[in-house]
Amino acid sequence: MLKAARHKEIVVLVQGGGAVEVSALAERFQTSPITIRRDLIELHERGLLERTRGGAVSGEVIAEGWARYESISYAERERENFREKRAIAELAAQLVSDGDCILVNGGTTSRHLAEALRGHHNLHVVTNGLTVAMEFARSQNASVYLLPGTVDFKKMASVSRPAPGAFDDISVRAAFLGVHGISLSGGIGMLSPEEAAMNRAFIDAAQTVNVIVDSSKFCSQAIFRIAKLDKVTRVITDAGIDPGARQKLESLGVEVLVASPEDASL
């Protein structure tokens, strides 16, 4: 296929589906990933798409995602899918034992997890979540290390792109990560490269990785990939997860735990 025809089809795919991956495009066009990356660079320079880690998305997808992100406050996020988040957090808390060393990132579901862990003792917690740290402070049953960075008031979290080796001295048994979106093909992701890089470092520091997301996150477009699903130990979500998505996750070796909102404490 001529380059011009390939470029036209890539643009159509991006505009139609919202996101494409280098590996999938290389297979589709029977060419090398290097060639596809060059295509994406050229199309990006022409303003026809936005490049991401491992692929590309349409500029409209980025704009829509950021527009919603910027328009909703942390308090409003707290109210979204409240019962589902509470149930997910309480189920996730059952995976934590007294004396554990864990990492919990910032976010509303993560705050619910910190609240659900109030009854645990002698926890050692690494977090970038301001509300997560404050929740543990109320219980006084945990020692908390709050990571530095620029405060994102939409997530009530400190965010920074970790310097090489910044997490070399941090090792935890388990990480609990709330993410902006989860995709069966693209993995888990965030809306900014800094958030994605920070959460990638969290994964590297943990023996097991637990993704705590309500089922709506399977429909959210995350622009910047944190990691593919082979880095995820389990996903803890609610009963709204599509059965096909659950089956696919389990076929990839990812354990899926489903929380029932009816069982959540109020």
- pLDDT of res. 92: 98
**H or E stretch at 258:** strand 255-259
Please measure the distance between the N-terminal and C-terminal CA atoms of the chain and give it in whole angstroms.
Answer: 59
Q: DSSP class of residue 160?
A: -
Segment 101-108 mean pLDDT: 96
Q: Give CA–CA dist 113/202, Å, rounded.
A: 17
pLDDT in tens, 80-102: 889 999 999 999 999 999 999 99
**In sequence order, which residues have a C-beta less than 8 Å from that of residue 64 and are 6 or more positions away?**
221
- Give the separation between CA 91 and CA 109, rounded to whole angstroms: 12
Specify the 3-state DSSP secondary structure of 263: helix
pLDDT of residue 220 exceeding 90, the answer is: no
- Residue listed under structure tokens 């934590």: 96
Tokens, residue 221:
């477009």
Residue 249 has pLDDT above 90, yes or no: yes
Which comes out higher in pLDDT, residue 88 or 266? 88
pTM of the model: 0.76
Three-state SS for 234? strand
Q: Is the pLDDT of residue 266 over 70?
A: no
Rounded Cα–Cα distance for residues 73 and 58 (Å)? 25
- Residue 191 contacts residue 65 (beta carbons within 8 Å): yes
What's the pLDDT score for residue 63?
56
Please tell me the total number of residues recorded for the chain in this structure.
266
Tokens encoding 189? 């992701």
Average pLDDT, the chain: 87
Question: What angle do the packed helices 108-116 and 82-93 form, to 10 degrees?
Answer: 50
**209 or 163, which is more confident:** 209
- Residues 10-69: pLDDT tens digits? 888 887 666 788 888 999 999 999 999 999 988 877 767 777 777 877 666 555 665 566
Q: Which runs of E-coded beta strand occur in 38-92? A: 50-52, 55-57
